Structure 1
Amino acid sequence: MKQPVFVLIAGVALHIGAAELDPLVITGTKTAKTQDESPISTTVITRQQIQQQQASTLAEVLQAVPGLHIQEIHGQNGGELLMQGMTGNHILILKDGIPVRQSGANGTNLSSIGLSGVSRIEVVPGNASALYGNAAMGGVINLITEERRREWLTFGMNLRQNEVDSSLPSEQIFNLDHGVTFGQVRLSSQWQWHERAPYDVSPTDGSEEISGLNQWSGRETIDIQHASDLSSRLWLNIDNAEYNRDYDHVLANQAFPYRYRREDSRVEYGYRLTGGLWNIDVSGDDSYLKTIEDNLNTIDREVTRTTKAGNQQLLGQRTFMFSSHDVTTGMTLSREWMDQKAAENEVDNKQSESIEWFVQDDWYLPHRVELITGLRSQWNNDFGFQTVPNVSLRWDISDELYLRAGSGLGYRVPNLKERYYRFDHSIYGYEVLGNSDLKPELAWSSQLELGYRGLSMAVFYKDLTNLIDTELDETVNNGIDTYRYSNIGSASIVGANVSFQKVLGQYEWQFNHQWLQTEDSDTGLSLNKRPDNQTNLQLSRTIDHPWWKVQKTRLSVGADYTGEQYYQAEQSLKSPDYLLFDATISLTFSNQLQLSLKGSNLSNVQADSDQENDLRPIVGRQWSLNVIYHVY
């Protein structure tokens, strides 16, 4: 089980030698292991799978991952991840091992994270706080941009058309991916432009349910190989998105035309120095968010809010390899700050600082057993010290039968947005207020998995204390619904997952079903926005025999079922279940040109825009064309 030949630090490959049929993974343990032998369950999404799905954002590619659920973020027209019953604020999003942070009041908007230059994605469900700290109570998603070629130039185009839409096309996405090597120095660039027209589900009501979007993003990277065991990387990411939406706000049976504008800009930067078994990362990001909500019937009623935020992080990590075990240890220093200004309120330079230390011991025991123990201690300037343990085990009972088990404590301090941010959507009839009295969350998580020949059966349990959620503040009477972040005394999540994947000749089968039950122990009610059942079925066939100019054809069909979920359990408001179908045909004309056609939501399921508790998809049936051209 031990793989001492390969060393990967924070997602950057320093030496490649494993067969592609059994890819290396790093996110689960921070050391390189083959996917089949990893003691931590890890799902890998390859570059080829990303292209086959025609995915251009992280939300789109994760929709096809069994057991994951993407739900709409109100006010942002984006997607937030739900994994094993844990929401986006509990799931850490990484890019090459560096946290991806965003402005806004909700969890990370996965619909605004592009995939240009991403070679693979690793998904680790369950508690990872001992390794990754504060934001990893529910799992980790790591986007890896590792590139093994010396030079390349690729263009991509994706055109999408909603079936009921006057705009042609509804969406268009263009990508450029370029890299060149000069001796021991490699320069790479990835740029993406994304334009989407506003979308009105019911054209007669005067309201656009989905905002128009004009977004461009870019990443510039310099990789230098100083010596055989010493390399460095310098990177700069730039992202700018502008949203626009016109709609009618109905008050006292009278419609008032409103206009919504949102500008979201972010800059990320960093430097990494890697030497064999150690690495040092220095990274940071700065974001600027501006929203304007204007009543078009007046000349003076315009609400403008601006939020500035930033993060800086210093990480040092070292792995020590011994004959029977590997020890990985490191320290992280981080700082977070936020300013928010509006016409009537201000959050003035709130800051949070933390120091974290972690150690992991990976033991290779007799009888094909691997045992991992971990410990992480954290100090926060507002919440003091906390230490969380974690233990994981893998037992290869035979060459084809294995057992994985894990248990540990997760810990998360409230972020600055939950404590101080004011998310004012009074024109929608509500606002969300921060709560400076929030307490840190704790979650004891356990999971057990049994796998045999592509069949996996797993159960998981989470005991949550001080879970942070929003609840209606009935003491405020200002004409709108005022929600406030608060702690739920205790809650529990229990679930089971069955998955199966098999290749039979030219056919690939994949099936997954997840059952989930949640409870707020204080009220006995279910937690909101967590589907009780999810089922995914995918069937693909690859035809290698060429015909006409086509060298390879791939056909894929899929079905996704999402069960009922509570919108507001206190009022017994539920969102209905739904079933989606999709189909894709991909044509490979040469090593340079690939073309695919896709039909999404063929069952044309759409939410009722008049029912706020309807969490079904906003967009109905959609058709898309994807073209990828590799110049070299």
Structure 2
Amino acid sequence: MTKDRISIGGSTDIHLNENTQTYQLSAQALYEDYQSDSDTLSNEVLASARNTNITTALSQVQLDLPAIDLGAHMHLLQVGGQVQRDTLSQTKNSISELISDEVSRDVGELYLQDDWLIGAHWEILTGIRYQDDQDFGNHVAPKVAVKYNRTDASGRDHIFRASVGSGYRVPNLKERYYVFDHSNLGYKVMGNPSLQPETSTSYQVGYQGQIGDDLNLSINGFYNDVEDLIQTDNENAIIENGISIFQYTNIDSAYTYGGDIGIDWQVDDRATLQATYAYLKTKNESANSELTYRPNHKVMLALDYQLSDTLQLIPRLNYESKQLIDTAAQSYSPSWWTLDSQLNYKIDDNFSLYGAVNNIFDTQRDVRDTSDYRPIDNREWLIGARFNWQ
């Protein structure tokens, strides 16, 4: 498997004449080429050879207009656009597995955004995005966000946010056509050319601030109302030669809501503790059930401990609760937790060495259980070096 990525970008200031304000023009272009070759052996003899090639070519441009200063108010306007072309080809034994030798998708977008600064504390961000897709036509998605920030008598910053927006996601080529073959693990995921774009309305609120000299807190909540949600479900599996074959489908109507809380605590001069907890509740309104592959609880706990001026230890604990896999059978993948640890050794300001062990206790899925979606990677040992070129 190889993945090549080339990107280039830049920006420049524009002055229409000596007396005008500054416009800023920025542009970026990107090209990615992903190639995968996988062979299947039977009794040490080549049974099949699958070759996949996925490319993405993208270019975008943005113009930041001069600030419109209205005294107590100020407007910062941005306008931009992008064009993107994706291609996918996949063969098995040199014969295409797609509806043609290659499938492609072309899409263009335009957007306009106004960042309205009101006094010293308020900010209102409004925007609208227009998308024209080769296969799915055009769509307009608006959004609006409000932010209030203040500094208390102790000099601590507090930021409150709220937003509402329209979401729109077109199924990508992998979801529509790709054959994700993990027969060695007992399953395949097939693309679905009949998929439709998913649309959503999202509501979010949040707080971020300093609640102590050494303690930062963030709290966020959200609610999403989704139509034509794209997902897979073991309920739709087809068994072929002992292999479970799944396909992406659209869920007519669904909603999700939840939130997360995070703390960043400077315990002392040597230790910093980070902890996050995320809660998610989902509903497939068509099946009157949860959505698949979405655990209700996630926890992360990490300690950054400076053993000495040159030696740093970072253990990290991750937990994920069980998640629904099959709507009809109400079968769940089990909960799991992993422990990772990394040791960094600083030689100088530019050069450092590190060693790490991921998944120390070797938590791993049982490939014989089609409902087990715990981590696929077993214990991993890493050593390396970092060099910062200045």
Give the TM interval when normalised to the shorter protein.
0.7 to 0.9
Equivalent position amino acid for 1:451 in 2:
Q
Query: 2:160 aligns to what?
Result: 403
SS class of match (1:417): helix
1:287 aligns with 2:51: no
Query: 1:508 aligns to what?
Result: 272
The CA distance in 2 between the partners of 1:493 and 1:272, in whole Å, is: 37
Q: Per-residue displacement from partner, 1:299-325 (whole Å, max 9, x unpaired)? A: 5x6222223333322322100131212
The CA distance in 2 between the partners of 1:311 and 1:585, in whole Å, is: 37
The CA distance in 1 between the partners of 2:4 and 2:344, in whole Å, is: 35
1:460 aligns with 2:222: yes
Query: 1:316 aligns to what?
Result: 61
Give the RMSD, CA atoms, in angstroms.
Answer: 2.8
Match of 1:303 among 41, 48, 51: 48
Query: 2:194 aligns to what?
Result: 437
Please show how residues 146-545 of structure 1 align to structure 2 within 5 Å: 264-276=1-13, 277-296=24-43, 302-322=47-67, 323=69, 324-343=74-93, 345-347=96-98, 348=100, 349-366=102-119, 368-399=121-152, 400-425=157-182, 429-453=186-210, 454-471=216-233, 479=241, 480-506=243-269, 507-542=271-306
Query: 2:337 aligns to what?
Result: 579
Q: Describe the shift of the 1:540–1:485 C-alpha distance in structure 2 as closer, same or farther (beyond 3 A).
A: closer
SS class of match (2:328): helix
Q: Displacement of 1:622 after TM fit?
A: 4.7
- Tell me if the contact between 1:473 and 1:484 (Cα under 8 Å) persists in the aligned partners: no
The CA distance in 1 between the partners of 2:105 and 2:363, in whole Å, is: 43
- Tell me if the contact between 2:39 and 2:48 (Cα under 8 Å) persists in the aligned partners: yes
Query: 2:374 aligns to what?
Result: 616
The CA distance in 1 between the partners of 2:62 and 2:80, in whole Å, is: 4
SS class of match (2:159): strand
The CA distance in 1 between the partners of 2:53 and 2:275, in whole Å, is: 44
The CA distance in 2 between the partners of 1:422 and 1:314, in whole Å, is: 28
The CA distance in 1 between the partners of 2:183 and 2:378, in whole Å, is: 28
The CA distance in 2 between the partners of 1:558 and 1:424, in whole Å, is: 32
Q: TM-score, normalised by structure 1?
A: 0.52
SS class of match (2:248): strand
Equivalent position amino acid for 1:605 in 2:
T
Equivalent position amino acid for 1:418 in 2:
E
- Structure 2: gaps of 5 or more residues: 14-23, 211-215
Paired residue total? 361
The CA distance in 2 between the partners of 1:401 and 1:424, in whole Å, is: 49
Q: Describe the shift of the 1:470–1:614 C-alpha distance in structure 2 as closer, same or farther (beyond 3 A).
A: closer
- Tell me if the contact between 1:461 and 1:494 (Cα under 8 Å) persists in the aligned partners: yes
- Tell me if the contact between 2:284 and 2:290 (Cα under 8 Å) persists in the aligned partners: yes
The CA distance in 2 between the partners of 1:503 and 1:591, in whole Å, is: 23
- Tell me if the contact between 2:200 and 2:225 (Cα under 8 Å) persists in the aligned partners: yes
Q: Displacement of 1:608 after TM fit?
A: 3.1
Q: Displacement of 1:531 after TM fit?
A: 1.8
Equivalent position amino acid for 2:221 in 1:
V
The CA distance in 1 between the partners of 2:366 and 2:298, in whole Å, is: 21
Q: Describe the shift of the 1:266–1:541 C-alpha distance in structure 2 as closer, same or farther (beyond 3 A).
A: closer
Q: TM-score, normalised by structure 2?
A: 0.82
Q: Describe the shift of the 1:482–1:542 C-alpha distance in structure 2 as closer, same or farther (beyond 3 A).
A: closer
- Structure 1: gaps of 5 or more residues: 1-263, 545-550
Query: 2:19 aligns to what?
Result: none
Task: Name the stretch that deviates more: 516-525 or 498-507.
Answer: 498-507
- Tell me if the contact between 1:525 and 1:570 (Cα under 8 Å) persists in the aligned partners: no
Q: Displacement of 1:543 after TM fit?
A: 5.2
Specify which structure has the higher proportion of strand: 2
The CA distance in 2 between the partners of 1:266 and 1:598, in whole Å, is: 25
Equivalent position amino acid for 1:296 in 2:
N
SS class of match (1:317): strand
The CA distance in 2 between the partners of 1:417 and 1:502, in whole Å, is: 41
Q: Displacement of 1:497 after TM fit?
A: 0.7
The CA distance in 2 between the partners of 1:473 and 1:607, in whole Å, is: 20
Equivalent position amino acid for 2:331 in 1:
L
Q: Work out which structure has the larger RCO, using CA pairs closer than 8 Å and 6 or more positions apart in sequence.
A: 1
The CA distance in 1 between the partners of 2:264 and 2:237, in whole Å, is: 52
- Tell me if the contact between 2:146 and 2:161 (Cα under 8 Å) persists in the aligned partners: yes
